[in-house]
Amino acid sequence: MATKSIVKRRPIDFDILEKGDVIPTSDLEALTGEVYGTSAYSLAILKYQMEIRNRLADRGLFVTVKCDRGALRILTDSEASQYNFDRCRAHVRGIVQSHSRAVNVDVANLGKADITAHTRRLAISGHFVQAVLNARKTLPVTGHKRKTPGLPSE
């Protein structure tokens, strides 16, 4: 992975960034004026993480930017594929856990209007959970079909 000094013009030189680049912690500390390990640093680099993603998207380069031990990494396509899948699974796990906690709410402590709203929200989150579980079970896995002609023996 290439480590570049990106503090050249403007706060960040977006023209030289590409997939696989790493913006080191030292450059980010210089940009933000914050020290790595503090919550102020984390919030400041979150701003840059989103700005890098948005500015590169404006240029037609859609990237995943990850905070990695204080540095920002623009993931390669293979890294982004796995990273985004893992994040999706984590969010699904969170949805299932939130739904389980909602099921265990004691409605005896709620007012009539709150019970109606809770029941509706429970039905909606239940549909989300069921849709995800059904998609995981029923989504067909198809083989890769070759687009270019193969050898005559194939």
Structure letter (DSSP) for residue 36: T
Compute the CA torsion angle 112, 113, 114, 119 (nearest 10 deg).
90
Q: Are residues 34 and 58 in the same domain?
A: yes
Q: Are residues 11 and 70 in the same domain?
A: yes
Whole-model pTM? 0.70
Q: How many domains does the chain have?
A: 2
Structure letter (DSSP) for residue 78: H
Is there a domain that residue 154 lies in? no
Is there a domain that residue 151 lies in? no
Render pLDDT for 1-36 as a digit per residue (tens, 0 to 9): 555 555 444 577 888 888 889 988 988 888 888 899
Q: Are residues 116 and 134 in the same domain?
A: yes
pLDDT for res 14: 80
Q: Which domain holds residue 46?
A: 2-75
Neighbouring C-beta atoms of residue 143, cutoff 10 Å: 5
Q: Are residues 6 and 67 in the same domain?
A: yes
From 54, 75, 96, give the residue that closes a domain: 75
Of 53-67, 84-98, 107-121, 138-152, the poorest mean pLDDT is in: 138-152
Is there a domain that residue 145 lies in? no
